[in-house]
Structure 1
């Protein structure tokens, strides 16, 4: 007589997540082209009997026993992908399961995180004993920091007490994330003939400013994110070999910590260089969550470690404490033959559920 075997509830949820992930991989969803994957997420929630809202390619839903008097938490990840790079040897839109891995574009960034959060939301959906409302948001345009992704729907949501943003972190706890400033700078000179002592070379003026940017160190250093980092990444000047250029344009990538506001950083740069400085936006602000926050402590109890993330995600658009975490490895994102281990998905779902049970299920 064979012994009865019990399948873990996490295994069942992982099977659902993996099946949905395979469908998402099979459906092209480059940023601004996510209609197909949005429809798949709609169909999944409909099959579960869960009402949802949609704006453009963003889908969001509330737990069954939503109570406006309770605080709300947000579970968010994105369903857009980058375009596959030329080094792919597999079909990026064909999910391939092999040796415990699932290959496919967006499998790691961030399909595994998204589908794990979706089934986690479903797990809590009809629980009447929650201290918090649970909101799911599957959003678009994260890979391009677009304005028609999470930013488009954030004002449609109730106030959020804290958020979990699904990005591949090996389920470790990214408790802080750098913000991003992109600055377009212009050095001005006067044109003249290169053969004579005429004009003021805008390139030389730009070089002085670039040297300051290269060497300057902001005084305050973040305990989790380290120093602010400034990098000149683009430069353009001149049109003819014999004409002294009157303008030199360059672009600065600034990775920002919580120690300064974006406005303070812009003001500091403007005070120290001659060039005009124009930020492209001040939307992508640094984000963090206190180490003492219950959701962080719940993760630490499960043996996960905390760290500061140098990369930018949709956390930058959420004005509340937020934790970035998810199954998968950041180093696989945007690489050829991208994959996620199947066991990472099941383990990720289990950890999401255990952490949330510790925080939002009334004892």
Structure 2
């Protein structure tokens, strides 16, 4: 039989999620959900630090001599699309489902991790637990988890809450956006003059279409590069001297973003410039202790193609949470109540096993 504490924590998680759904929390505008999460932590007698719209809390028996585990999920959302048939800011419970913007991505993970943190908060455990409710995850913003991470010690592992059906994502693709410039020479279109930059760009774009990176990943497979934007020309009768295009590059743990950039540049004539090298791929070492724990618990392991705050965490991490990735950013987003309840149980089991597990591989 389920104990009273666990029943109470599950009820609190669902109630908190209902409250968060009713509050606008678009990226960079999460101040009110940060207020609500802070109020909830206060009501549970948990002290916290607020850095912008990020909240950081430590377990009661925090000890700098102990290793630390980070629990993280985000409280910002994308804007609702026009296809919603239900009010995205009304928490509607129907047929065992809770509808509302951010319910699946990543509100269910967020509240499940909060109450998991509460479960362990007063206990004298062999690890420190650090909880971060992060802002600006949907835009990988500078004032999101990166700011919060500056305030905490390096952790042994991070558990990042995102909808994965409680499967354990042990690898995640990174993102590299490249602005490319093909240069030609202007001329009159009526005469055989100039060098058409569009044609030069087309040569490179055809190479991109068929491009295969040399290395691939065990969990994430092939790397992927796509041409997604193009711009050239000012008027119909002038051969353009510049054609700009953009490449979206999804990189596995087989490469750093810098290595992938160099491999692409070596094959293309256009000038390439990376917008950022921040959003690196991630991969958990095969012999990491949490891999063994996942096997003991029967958790399926996989590689995730979607980006999360994992990309900005500079130590080992996994991604796991209630809900399904394909529901994210869709109209009439929902989470099943039982998914939250089961997610809380698995989070607790995962942490209990991890904190008491002796790694048998060296």
The answer for the alignment partner of 1:225 in structure 2 is 220
RMSD over aligned Cα atoms: 1.3
Unaligned runs of 5+ in 1: none
Q: TM-score, normalised by structure 2?
A: 0.96
The answer for the alignment partner of 1:53 in structure 2 is 49
Question: In 2, distance between residues paired with 1:281 and 1:84?
Answer: 27
Question: Could you tell me which of 68, 71, 82 is aligned with 1:72?
Answer: 68
2:164 counterpart of 1:178: no
Question: In 2, distance between residues paired with 1:175 and 1:291?
Answer: 9
Moved more, 281-290 or 259-268: 259-268
The answer for the alignment partner of 2:305 in structure 1 is 310
The answer for the alignment partner of 1:211 in structure 2 is 206
Moved more, 158-167 or 259-268: 259-268
Q: CA deviation at 1:290?
A: 2.6
- How many residue pairs were aligned? 358
2:34 counterpart of 1:38: yes
2:164 counterpart of 1:194: no
2:343 counterpart of 1:354: no
**Cα displacement string for residues 109-134 of structure 1 (whole angstroms, at most 9, x for unaligned residues):** 00000000000001011111x22100
Question: Could you tell me which of 238, 245, 250 is aligned with 1:250?
Answer: 245
The answer for the alignment partner of 2:103 in structure 1 is 107
Question: In 2, distance between residues paired with 1:200 and 1:362?
Answer: 66
Unaligned runs of 5+ in 2: none
Residues 13-162 of structure 1: pairs in structure 2 closer than 5 A: 13-128=9-124, 130-162=125-157
Q: CA deviation at 1:11?
A: 2.7
Q: TM-score, normalised by structure 1?
A: 0.96
Q: CA deviation at 1:298?
A: 2.2
Q: CA deviation at 1:292?
A: 3.3
Q: CA deviation at 1:291?
A: 3.7
Q: Work out whether residues 132 and 148 of structure 2, in 8 Å CA contact, stay in contact via their aligned partners in 1.
A: no
Question: Could you tell me which of 8, 28, 32 is aligned with 1:12?
Answer: 8
Q: Secondary structure at the match of 2:8?
A: helix
**Cα displacement string for residues 69-125 of structure 1 (whole angstroms, at most 9, x for unaligned residues):** 111110000000000000001100000000000000000000000000000001011
Q: Work out whether residues 174 and 311 of structure 2, in 8 Å CA contact, stay in contact via their aligned partners in 1.
A: yes
Moved more, 106-115 or 285-294: 285-294
